[in-house]
Structure 1
């Protein structure tokens, strides 16, 4: 997990300011550690891989889009932490309900 984050971090540093990148990645690492165990094996390990994959195609993205990606990753990890009190069935039902609502509009 740490290896993917380190590799991704280098590409983000090249695209946006070094200080901003370090701040975002520190927030992401902190948020990943707070993800509950029921999600950490599935989602927690995939987030660094996703960041690494995204980092390989940053050349065609603006710095604003690049920062937006990092902000959304942080938000996503925080949402996972907030879902701790729900069972997997409840979470699945909420996702299905939301996706159907978006599909209709």
Structure 2
């Protein structure tokens, strides 16, 4: 980032290739712009709708099934990534353990 800022600030004085050589930065790195995938932007709205329709119960697996019914071809990882970025966390129940068991055989335990 700092090297790129130096190049941007001195564009009117020196050529980009000369500054890249001095700063030991490849020109492709300077010109590279990370492109956000449009498919993630397109999928965000349907994922939010399915999640809200399920009353925040559906996770990535069930959302994937619902999206496939609507005709989208998406991986579960991409859905998980979009859900994480949007802050969607599904509700789930933890099974409680019943520690008090009934003595069905009428055994006498020494305590």
RCO higher in 1 or 2 (8 Å CA, sep ≥ 6)? 1
TM-score range, shorter chain: under 0.3
TM-score of the superposition, structure 2-length normalised? Answer: 0.21
